[in-house]
A and B are shown apart, each in its own frame.
Chain A
């Protein structure tokens, strides 16, 4: 099926597939590529679908990271504050924040191709690039999220501040969000449309998907 995809949306998804296999702030290119493989496999196959979680698997990122990615990617995960605390104790909180961004964007990229009846994209080859380790902004504990966020905490909605402790991951996610949903600057305009779906139609789909994913937020 040949589908015509508007350019900004196609570009945003192409960027996302590249970013999934590129070095991040706290994970290398090789680690992110294999973690993205686990995320993509888990979106449809559940938390045990990744070849990197086989008993004999040897991974660059480590089993704990793959297990965390698989759990979050698999749809309606049993993610609790206790699980978060145990996972970040093993991985580190900034490393965990980057993994959330990786999982979220991988799920979007996988879902979009599936919805259009297209096969999943092949992830680009990994490089030898190491994580940038760019120091985080000044951080603060939040009441609206478990994860640390850029100070001042709770000045914005929970999802907006969610990845701000790792600015590159936050930027990647919102670049995709602007193309998929509503550009940030248009969010307050309840009549905004691209000429295809009305705002009500957009929000109907958003609510339906969130409900299906059992997301309270």
Chain B
């Protein structure tokens, strides 16, 4: 969906590096990384949350936290039910970001 939405909106997306041509990419990615860190680094999460609020506002930070939460949910749903991709385009996107290494099924 990242590559499809980027193409639709004319935003450059490089899947292998997960680099995206939007101004707040660093703030968004750093926040997401801190939020899912298994080490639960509260200090890093606080810094990245404050930066995201400063750059995009509190409502955007809350929505970013909600998207993180959603994919903490969806990844467990997919793993627990043995979900596999059925579209060739989705499989190709997964290959592009290196997700084939995560195949366990």
Contacts and interface: CB of A to CB of B under 8 A. Distances in A.
B59 to A, nearest CB: 5
Interface string A156-179: 011100110000000001001101
Interface residues of A, number: 77
B77 A159 contact: yes
Contacts, number: 254
B99 A215 contact: yes
Interface in B51-74: 56-60, 62-74
B53 to A, nearest CB: 10
Nearest to B20: A204
Contact of B28 (A76, A146, A190, A201): A201
Contacts of B79: 72, 77, 79, 215, 217
Interface in A64-119: 72-73, 75-81, 84, 97, 99-101, 103-105, 107-112, 114-117
Interface of A is mostly: helix
Interface of B: 1-2, 4-6, 8-9, 11, 13, 18, 20, 22, 24-25, 28-29, 31-33, 35-36, 38, 40, 42, 45-46, 49, 56-60, 62-86, 94, 97-105
